Structure 1
Amino acid sequence: MTDPSRSGDPADATADGTDDAGSPDADTDRSDSEREATGARGRDVVVPDAVYKRVTVFSTLFAVAAVVGGFLLLDVATDRATAELSEVQPLVALAGLGLIVVGAVTYAFSTRFRADGMGNAKDETDEISDNG
C-alpha cells in the first residue's frame, strides 16, 4: 500500500500521514467511550468523575477570579472610566486585558473535559416527542 500522504490527493491523507482514518481497522484499538469522544468533538478528554469535578470547580473558580481581577485592573487603570486619555495607565490596562483573556482561555480549555459516562446532546439523535 502506498503512503496516502504522498498520493497528491488531500482527501486521502490524514493529519499524521498514517492509513486512512475511515478504514475498518482504524478503530480496533480504541474502546467504545473513546470512539464516542472522537465523534463530533474529537478534542474532548474523557477523565474519571473525581478528576472531572476537580477540573470543573477549580478552572471555573480561577477563570471567574481572573476575569473579575482583569476588570478591576481596567477600572483602576482608567480611574473608573473617568480618566483623560493622557492619565490612563496603559500597563495596568494591558495587564487587566491579559487577565480577562487568561480567564476566558482557562474556561474554554476546561470545557474539553468530560466524565466517563457523559454524552454530548449535540451528538445524540433527535427523539420524537410523544406528548401530542
Structure 2
Amino acid sequence: MEPESGTSGRREVVVPLRLYKTITVFSTLIAVVGILGGFIVLDVATNRAQADFSEVNIAAAILGVGMIVAGAVTYAFSTRFRTTEMGNAKDDTDEHSDNG
C-alpha cells in the first residue's frame, strides 16, 4: 500500500481489490449507520424539533451531530482508496477535451 499524490494534491492509497471491497462495504455501512443514528439521536434530543430551548437535551444533541460528522468523515476518508486496476480519468490521454 503506497500513497500517491495526484495532480490535485490528494493522496490516494492503492490497495488490492479484496481489501478495497472490504473497505468500501464497511465504511459505507459505518457511514450510513452513523448518519442515520445521528439524526435519530438529534430528533430525540429535540423532541422532533418541537422542544423549547430549555427542554433540549444538549448532550444528546451534541452526540447526534457528532455521529453525523463521524459518518461523513468515514465516508470521505474511504474515497481515498483505489485499486491498481482502477484508472484515473484525469490521466487518460485518449479522450479529447473539445466537449463536443
TM-score normalised to the size of structure 1? 0.66
Normalized per residue, the structure richer in strand is 2
Identity of matched residues, % = 62
Separation in 2 of the partners of 1:56 and 1:48?
Answer: 12
Contact 2:13–2:82 (8 Å) recurs in 1: yes
Deviations 1:78-117 (A, max 9, x none): 0001101110000000000000111011111100000111
How much has 1:123 moved relative to structure 2?
A: 3.3
User: 1:39 corresponds to which letter in structure 2?
Assistant: G
Normalized per residue, which structure has more helix?
Answer: 2
Larger radius of gyration between Structure 1 and Structure 2: 1
| Conserved 8 A contact 1:67-1:104 | yes
Q: Which deviates more, 51-60 or 115-124?
A: 115-124
1:43 to 3, 6, 11: 11
Any stretches of 5+ residues in structure 2 without a counterpart? none
SS in 2 for 1:45: strand
Q: Following the alignment from structure 1 to structure 2, what is the Cα–Cα distance between the partners of residues 88 and 113?
A: 40
In 2, Cα distance between equivalents of 1:123 and 1:49 = 20
1:81 is the counterpart of 2:20: no
Question: What is the alpha-carbon distance in structure 2 between the residues aligned to residue 115 and residue 125 of structure 1?
Answer: 20
Gaps of at least 5 residues in structure 1 are: 1-33
1:109 counterpart (63, 77, 85):
77
SS of match in other structure, 1:81? coil
Aligned partners of 1:47 and 1:39: how far apart in 2?
16
Q: How far 1:42 sits from its partner (Å)?
A: 4.8
Q: TM-score, normalised by structure 2?
A: 0.85
